[in-house]
Structure 1
Amino acid sequence: MAAFTEIRPHVVVIPFPAQGHINPLLKLAKLLHSRGFYITFVNTEYNHHRLTRSQGPGWATAGLDGFRFETIPDGLPPPSDKNSTQDVPALCASTRATCLAPFRDLMARLSRAADVPPVTGIVSDGAMGFTVDEDFGVPVLLFFTHSACGCWSYCHIGELVRRGYTPLKDESFLTNGYLDTPIDWIVGLENIRLRDLPVLRPDHRLRRRNAEHYGEECRA
């Protein structure tokens, strides 16, 4: 059994399984590691396999001491193309519905492991809110990978719905000038238009689905 003469803080980092979320959380994990933290970085099995094919079979174990990778399933059937980008709305629904149980199992396994320090905290992507659905006995910090303005916009999705700005009634509202409607009541985001909000872009149905989830996490 390994013994630790000096216990390092051990943070479990779990991004939403999309490139724009993995990259910033990986950078944050590396910064924490450079400050002495032990890191367990949690990818989905699908993305871990993609990285292994791209980087080579030893990529996850090469290099940094005290920086390890673990995987959990995303709950989706594997696509026919092993390198295809997964459907983001399906990922949003699947991670919320299926990822808590395997993440719970991973946390239990880490707590029993003799070769790693005890977990002292979790840094979770804001889109992986299932990490706050259960008490893991350590602090959980939600990290939002988009900009501060984007995060603040998502936090107001509920008010946008209550005031009738969204959902858009039909596709014509994307081109009939409605998106130029001024919004002057979000503190810190004065003098903007509807089209400036990330929750109201041409792919508004997907973004509204994500925004409702982000809004729930902001309110929590």
Structure 2
Amino acid sequence: MTQKQAEMGFTTEFVKPHAVLIPAPFQGHINPMLQVAKILHSKGFHITFVNTEFNHKRVLKSRGVNALDGLPDFQFETIPDGLPPTDVDDTPEPQSLCDSTSKNCLVPFLNLVAKLNQYASSGLNPPVSCIFSDRAMTFSVKAAEEFGIPVVLLCAMSACWLWGVSRYHSLIYKDLESIKDESYLTNEHLDEDWVPGMKSLRLRELPSLFHLTDPNDPFMEFLMAEVGRASKASAIILNTFDELECNVLNNLSSMFPLYLYHGPSSYACQSNPTE
């Protein structure tokens, strides 16, 4: 129990820790966070898993109205994503969805955590003791500060990806040379060792996201802002292991808080017979 929770009148009656998990609203982000939730649940955590209202409705539509009923200590909640309501079942365009969640989700998320703590006051569940958030949902860092609890960010990408985004930020704002036009995508510029700290890695070997001709690309600006806020998290979980990305992990340790890394979380879930 944190000092702030003690000041709010919570007691030590509930021994079980309560983790609130909020993934980015994309399938490639929801599944890894759900795997983390299962691992935490197997270790004795009370789980609240937070989807957007849009994704929650999609699951109920495809799997039935009882699909997300959960267990007494593994429950699902929702918050709005901030986009206008639509009858279209497709996932919204990523850039607009990310922009909306970063601007509109903090207040609903604060209200949800406050509601869960009110339930705790009535003995319905443990008080929220920590937040696990996707690295693209860093409004959770502000929420954790408000409630005086730790927040752990999950980066489902590799350590190399996280380091690449962080160095892109540095290069742009130091006015170093980036890709100026599309001709740079086919000439020897892509063969340069572009990112300090990634030995022998050339620009052409980075994901297409890094092959932008506009240094002020809105989506890259969003990613850089999220990475910047990640430094305020209590810890970061990376989808890697030391033998694979040792040099990059060493570099990250100078920029980010305590980081945890693991092999595929799906393997950890499959090896756990209780889930």
TM-score where L is the length of structure 2:
0.70
Q: Per-residue CA shift, 1:181-205, capped at 9, x if unaligned?
A: 222x522x11011122334147984
Question: 126, 139, 142: which is aligned to 1:133?
Answer: 142
Relative to structure 1, is the Cα distance of residues 125 and 192 closer, same or farther in structure 2, using a 3 angstrom cutoff?
same
Q: How does 1:1-80 map to 2 (within 5 A)?
A: 6-62=14-70, 64-80=71-87
SS in 1 for 2:180: coil
Relative to structure 1, is the Cα distance of residues 105 and 147 closer, same or farther in structure 2, using a 3 angstrom cutoff?
same
CA distance in 1, matches of 2:48, 2:213: 34
In structure 1, the partner of 2:176 is: 164
Structure 1 segments unaligned to the other structure (5+ residues): none
CA distance in 2, matches of 1:176, 1:80: 45
Is the contact between residue 155 and residue 219 of structure 1 (CA under 8 Å) also seen in structure 2?
A: no
CA distance in 2, matches of 1:91, 1:21: 14
Question: 87, 95, 98: which is aligned to 1:89?
Answer: 95
Shift of 1:210: 4.0
CA distance in 2, matches of 1:33, 1:7: 14
What percentage of aligned pairs have identical amino acids? 42
Shift of 1:127: 0.9
**Does the alignment pair 1:108 with 2:120?**
no
CA distance in 1, matches of 2:25, 2:169: 25
CA distance in 2, matches of 1:53, 1:174: 43
Relative to structure 1, is the Cα distance of residues 6 and 152 closer, same or farther in structure 2, using a 3 angstrom cutoff?
same
Q: How does 1:114-153 map to 2 (within 5 A)?
A: 114=122, 115-134=124-143, 135-153=146-164
Any runs of at least 4 consecutive aligned residues in structure 1 with deviations exceeding 3 A, and if so which?
A: 201-207
Relative to structure 1, is the Cα distance of residues 201 and 55 closer, same or farther in structure 2, using a 3 angstrom cutoff?
farther
Q: Per-residue CA shift, 1:74-118, capped at 9, x if unaligned?
A: 001134422x12111111111111100100110110010131111
Is the contact between residue 157 and residue 211 of structure 1 (CA under 8 Å) also seen in structure 2?
A: no
Question: 178, 184, 192: which is aligned to 2:189?
Answer: 178
CA distance in 2, matches of 1:192, 1:43: 37
Question: 166, 181, 204: which is aligned to 1:155?
Answer: 166
Relative to structure 1, is the Cα distance of residues 101 and 200 closer, same or farther in structure 2, using a 3 angstrom cutoff?
same
Matched positions, count: 213
CA distance in 2, matches of 1:203, 1:86: 24
Structure 2 segments unaligned to the other structure (5+ residues): 1-11, 233-275
Question: 198, 211, 215: which is aligned to 2:223?
Answer: 211
Shift of 1:66: 0.9
Shift of 1:177: 4.1
Letter in 1 for 2:220: R
SS in 2 for 1:119: coil
Letter in 2 for 1:104: L
Q: Per-residue CA shift, 1:123-151, capped at 9, x if unaligned?
A: 11111111112422211112212112112
Is the contact between residue 138 and residue 230 of structure 2 (CA under 8 Å) also seen in structure 1?
A: no
Give the CA RMSD over aligned residues: 2.4
